[in-house]
Amino acid sequence: MSNQTHILQINTSLNGENSQSSRLAARFVAAQNGARVTVRDLAAEPVPHLDGARFGAFIAKPEERTAEQQAVVAYSDALIAELKRADVIVLGLPLYNFGVPSQLKSWIDHVARAGQTFRYTANGPEGLVKGKKAYVFATRGGIYAGTALDTQTGYIRDFLRFIGIEDVEFVYAEGLAISEESREGALGKAREQIDRLAA
């Protein structure tokens, strides 16, 4: 990647600096020589969960929004602008109770807005966040990839495709809670894959 490339790194783990998904994401980002990087830590700075009032702000007519609703929309607009500025999205993704972290779901609920990141057409929905590449660094305590219990991979692919990001690469580190040997082996393979991707 060139020094003109802008990376948005999204960390979602509750474990801060001890997070394996965030560490793998950071390893990949560090290898991108000279790229501009924006880090959004959704655990350190949580996006509010979507509720009726926040959703109502999104669908209200702009000229009829209250000051509180305008603030909600401005916050969402800033998240969307940050996403659109990036050329590359790097997502650290731990598995929590067979799903994505709730703080990531909150972010998704604030950036998936009709007319902003997608639109409905006669031929179905069309993503408006195009021409970007996404890398997902997925860490799991058990072994789930390729099984019915992996609810993350399809969901993340579908969401990114829905908003227009078709080029998505997953790096998995699984079995991290099985044993020390399993953990180190999985992390080593993930690091090797990262180094190949970054070469």
CB neighbours of 115 closer than 8 A, spacing ≥ 6? none
Ligand-binding annotation for 142, yes or no, is: yes
140 marked as binding residue: yes
β-strand partners of 8:
38, 89
- Radius of gyration of the chain from Cα atoms? 18
Q: Which residue in the block uniquely carries the two structure tokens 């999204």?
A: 10
Confirm whether residue 115 is marked as ligand binding. Answer: no
Work out whether strand 118-121 and strand 124-127 pair parallel, antiparallel, or are unpaired. antiparallel
Q: Is 54 annotated as a binding residue?
A: no
Is 102 one of the annotated binding-site residues?
Answer: no
**Residue 21 annotated as binding site:** yes
**Phi, psi (deg, nearest 5) at residue 76:** -60, -45
In the annotated binding site for FMN, the residues are: 13, 19-21, 139-142
In the annotated binding site, the residues are: 13, 19-21, 139-142
